[in-house]
Amino acid sequence: MAISMILIPARSSKQGTSLNKGKLKEEYMEVTSTVEMNQDDMAILELNDGDQVKLSNNIGSTVVRCKGRKPEDLPAGMLFIAYGPPSSQLMASDTAGTGMPLSKHMQVLVEKVAA
């Protein structure tokens, strides 16, 4: 089963501290491979914290681990991830003549990856 959601890549505190250690190091890779999801949405997809999910769109796809958030903090249908190489896989290159690709609010399909 796959659900369409909006992905918001942004900064996080942990992403900021871990990138100072080094972007090739494990901590940064882990931070940028964790997607936050509304807990109710996770239940629908039968996901637990730490399970692998595949995010995909017509640009590409990436496999990351999920983490639940309360609905009052993260509305249904919305995903948050610390931006990095995984989220870049989903980013379209068109900048509409501005130089800026759309790096937030990407429409993605979310599905559980079998263990």
Partner 1 sequence: MSENIRTVKNATCTFCGCVCDDMELTVDMDEKRITKAKNACILGRAWFAEHVIENHPAAMIDGKEVSIEAAIEEAAQTLVKAKFPITYGLSDTTCEAQRQAVAITDIIHGTIDTTTSVCHGPSGLAFQGIGESTMTLGEVKNRADLVIFWGGNPAESHPRIFTRYAVTPKGMYIPNGKKDRTVVLVDVRKTPSTPVADIFLQVKPGKDFELLWALRALVKGRRIDPDIEEITGISLATLTDLVDKMKNCRYGVLFFGMGLTMTRGRHFNSGALLALATDLNEFTHFVAKPVRGHGNVTGADNVVSWQTGYPFGVNFSLGYPRFNPGEFTTADTLSRGDADAALIIASDPASNFSKAAIDHLHKIPVITLDTKQTITSKLSHVAFSTATYGINTSGTVYRMDDVPITLRPAFDSPFPTDEEILTKIKKRVHELVLAKRGSSGARGEAKVASIQSL
DSSP 17-74: HHHHH-TTSHHHHHHTTEEEEEHHHHHHTT--TT-EEEEE-SS-EEEEEEEEE-TTTS
What CA–CA distance (Å, rounded) separates 38 from 89?
Answer: 22
- Tell me which of 2, 22, 48, 58 binds partner 1, using CB under 8 A: 22
Shortest Å, Cβ 17 to partner 1: 4
Alpha-carbon span 39 to 87, nearest angstrom: 21
Strand 34-38 and strand 106-112: the pairing is unpaired
What is the per-residue binding string for partner 1 in 56-95, x denoting contact by CB under 8 A? ---xx-----------xxxx--x-x--xxx--xx-xxx-x
Name which of residues 27 to 56 contact partner 1 (CB under 8 A): none
**What is the 8-class DSSP label of residue 88?**
H
12 binds partner 1 (CB under 8 A): yes
Minimum CB–partner distance for residue 98 and partner 1 (Å)? 5
Binding site for partner 1 (CB under 8 A): 6, 8, 10-13, 16-18, 20-24, 59-60, 72-75, 78, 80, 83-85, 88-89, 91-93, 95-105
